[in-house]
Amino acid sequence: MHYWLMKSEPDVFGIDDMQAVGEDVWDGVRNYQARNFLREMKQGDLAFFYHSSTRPPGIVGLVEVVAEDIVDDTQFDPDSPYHDPRSSPDNPRWRTVRVAYRETFRHPITLDALKATFSPDKLLVVRKGNRLSVMPVAAKVAKRLLQMGRA
């Protein structure tokens, strides 16, 4: 079982939306490095839900991977902001996972707290200039994050 971190803008889709829908396809990722991490995800993996482009940014909850290797249909939708005209249904360029809401942390972990607790080589999201929207989290770090969030 592996841990991950996934970013979302609460103005677009936040942890409350995640809780409301219960389950959702994590669509809209259009970065190859992030997609490669999505491809590595397995059913049962847990992902920290991170709010970006908000004040304060930080980890707010937890979701679980419930289905692997899902085609992101928004790539074929001309009306979608995630439309990719160069991807073909025969060979979809963007695949993702389906996730289910698990919990909202009693104590959201702000980016400031993350920076104070973890060095950039331990937790990628605190690295300056990091723009990855999906990234792995080491088990040891994940355990600590769960403690902090649930405290």
Q: Which positions touch DNA (CB under 7 A)? A: 7, 9, 30-33, 52-57, 111-112, 127-133
Least distance to DNA from the beta carbon of 13, Å? 12
Least distance to DNA from the beta carbon of 132, Å? 6
**Using CA atoms, how far apart are residues 151 and 143, in angstroms rounded to an integer?**
12
Q: Which residue's CB is nearer to DNA, number 9 or number 68?
A: 9
Least distance to DNA from the beta carbon of 127, Å? 7
Least distance to DNA from the beta carbon of 133, Å? 5
How far does Cα 48 stand from its chain's mean position?
Answer: 7
Q: Which residue has the tokens 């995640």?
A: 18
Residues 6+ apart with CB under 8 A from 48: 3, 4, 5, 6, 59, 61, 62, 137, 142, 145
Q: Which residue's CB is nearer to DNA, number 97 or number 133?
A: 133
Q: Which residue's CB is nearer to DNA, number 67 or number 132?
A: 132
Terminal Cα-to-Cα distance of the chain (whole angstroms): 23
Q: Which residue's CB is nearer to DNA, number 62 or number 135?
A: 135
